[in-house]
Amino acid sequence: MDGHFATEDIRQAVCFAIAHMTAEETEQLLELCSLFHPSATAIKHIVERVSKEMEPPREARDTTIQSSIEAPADTKVLVASLDGANVLLREPGVPRGRPSERPRPEEPDEPKNATYKNAMVGAISFYGAVPKDHQGPERLRSFYSARMPEDRAVTFKRDFERHLEIVESNLDPGVIKLLLCDGHRVLWNYADHNERFDRYEKLVDFYHTDEHLSKAAEALFGKNSVEGKRWYPQFHIVPSGGPLHGPIQKSETYPTLSPVRGPASG
């Protein structure tokens, strides 16, 4: 109870409820079905204090990571990857994303009571040698981290870079380092202007590349067109270790496409 004004059972009920609804709705729910009736303001204070307790101090977290995340002895490649995940938040905002298939002019683009924002997810993975009769290396271990939406993902980036520093300090100098992301310009702007990734080989992952290839076919030839369905398979299967020069160079001959990111470079 140190530092708390609510008992443990009340804190548990409040935190469970507010994970599914707003503080005001939680107040109404508890008033209807419980013997305790905290106000919306009290509910926010409970959640804030519980959140601070659940978020360990940075020093303690780094110590735990350093003691538990060690590169396996057979590590040949370190892969750091970043991606965004859309999270639906109950706060005002304008819907984003791909336009509706059938625009409805009678529904103006006004702020809604809920909106999607981008949370960040990171992975640090260790890969060994390529086993016999296999096309790719064996993944030995992975470590994941994530952070809820924040403007420019400042906290996530700080923690992710710190985790990499801890991991890199225990690596053999000969280990290859890769940075693997999708094609989002925000991620690559961050990576290309961050000196800590200068010694990383930077790659766009296969599945997102394939997604961009599909969108390129649609942009060039129209959705579900016969021409697009003929063009897409030419580049869908990329030989193991082969560069992606083909679809990039060929797409540059079509004026309807905006510039795309070039082949991977160190």
What is the end-to-end Cα distance of the chain in Å, rounded? 54
CB-CB contact of 41 with 33 (8 Å): no
Q: Which range (3-12, 20-29, 52-61, 226-235) has the least confidence? A: 52-61
39: phi then psi, degrees, rounded to nearest 5? -75, 165
CB 95 within 8 A of CB 111: no
What is the overall mean pLDDT for the chain?
81
70 pLDDT more than 90: no
Q: Give Cβ neighbours of residue 74 (< 8 Å, ≥ 6 apart).
A: 128, 129, 140
- pLDDT tens for each residue of 188-241: 999 999 999 999 999 988 888 888 888 888 988 898 899 988 888 887 765 454
Question: Which range among 107-111, 176-180, 238-242 has the greatest average pLDDT?
Answer: 176-180
- From CA 24, how far away is CA 174, in angstroms rounded? 56
| Amino acid of residue 81 | S
pLDDT of residue 262 exceeding 60:
no
Contacts of the segment 239-246: beta carbons below 8 A, 24+ positions apart: 240/135, 240/136, 244/204, 244/209
Q: What pTM was estimated for this model as a whole?
A: 0.67
221, two tokens: 């030839």
Q: Rounded to an integer, what distance in angstroms lies between the CA atom of residue 78 and that of residue 71?
A: 9
- Which helix (H) or strand (E) element contains residue 67? helix 58-68
Q: What is the mean pLDDT of residues 238-246?
A: 50
Other CB atoms within 10 A of residue 230 CB = 11
- Separation of alpha carbons 234 and 160, rounded Å: 37
Q: What is the mean pLDDT of residues 1-17?
A: 83
* Amino acid present at 66: Q
The rounded distance, in Å, linking the Cα atoms of 251 and 249 is 6
Give the sheet arrangement for strand 115-127, strand by strand: 139-147, 115-127, 77-89, 176-181, 201-204
Whether 69 has a pLDDT exceeding 90, the answer reads no
The pLDDT of residue 19 = 84
